[in-house]
Amino acid sequence: MESKLLKFSLVCMTGALVLTANPKTAYAYEEGVAGFTYDKISSNSENGSSSITTLASYDIPVPGFADIGIADVETNLLVRSGPGEDKKIVGKLPKNGGCDIIEEDNGNGWTKVSSGKVSGYVKTKYLITGTKASKLALKVGDYIATANSNGLRVRKEPSVNAEVIDQVARGEELIVLEGVVPNYDEEHKKWVKVSLDSDESEEGAVGYVAKEYVDLSYQLKKALSIEELNFGSEVSSVRIRLVSKAKEYLGGRYRWGQNVLGVAVDCSGFTQQIYKKFGYSIPRTSRSQGSSGTRISSSQLKPGDLVFYGNGDHINHVAIFIGNGKIIHASNRRDGIKISNLYYRQPVKFVRYINDR
């Protein structure tokens, strides 16, 4: 029997395998054009269901990297300005994060790499390289939909008439759950099924975005520069310490329903346990956390305050504001604990528990 499979054309781009397609006419429905095209392949199944061959099963080198390296650490691999532990830390490459190797180890135990906005040196012993890295990249990466316009509407169903459950800012990334919506007519095949950060299930909040308004790619996690982690303005000691403690867990594992720092947490488990370390007892779920504390406006935000996301009055995700227009949150299974822009999704509420005016 025949099954439809996504056909990929991979082009070079640091940190991402960009999926391109033959030119197609943009659809005038939602905000399109994605890089998936359709191809038919043969597949056999003993029980009548399809058995699809996926990209990860092919033994091929990884386009997108001239010489790929993958961080072989539990949390983050430190990137330094020079080859030595006395050199300044310029960034952090998370577990299974990808990088380009700029200079091979010359015998001193250090390799120069580039990832995201970061370029520097990492300890060679914590870097997977060569064929092993190329094969691993096909297992640890994810298909990502990147919004190519502001206010990308995420809908409950694959239809322009469906309820809008959130809006996403330009440049923000969503995990692709399915490259196309299966078992629908041609109209519905213009949509991509994605996951929004949420503490309501392991998969997150499921929604649909129009292909026309996202760029689809296969990506590994990238390094973050120290500049991206900095505070915006002067804040109290407790806020600085709380945010600094939260950043210690950057790259940590996300798992729905868990709240053990250093092991696995979901979004509200992360905020609850960080606050607990500083003597603050807050509820367990994001919805309960949003219903307690003191509601504030966006202009009153200080590092350490909580930011809530959801659909209207329905809250399903929480993050800690860290200043400079950034948040830190237990995001999803792909990224774990990460830093994002405050408006990567549309916030629905801001709450303060730290009363240090």
Q: Which residue has the tokens 């809008």?
A: 164
317 is catalytic: yes
Among 12, 188, 314, 329, the one annotated catalytic? 329
99 is catalytic: no
CB 226 within 8 A of CB 244: no
Written as one string, the DSSP assignment of 324-353 is: TTEEEEEEETTTEEEEEETTSB-EEEEEE-
CA distance readout (Å), 65 to 15, 35, 130, 150: 7, 20, 11, 29
Rounded Cα distance, 90 and 84, in Å: 13
188 is catalytic: no
**Both tokens assigned to 82:** 């020079």
Buried b vs exposed e over 254-263: b needs ≥16 C-beta within 10 Å?
bbbeebebee
CB 190 within 8 A of CB 27: yes
Task: Give the rounded distance of the alpha carbon of 245 from its chain centre.
Answer: 21
Q: What are phi and psi of 224, to 5 degrees?
A: -110, 135
- H or E element: which one contains 182? none
Enzyme catalytic residues: 267, 317, 329
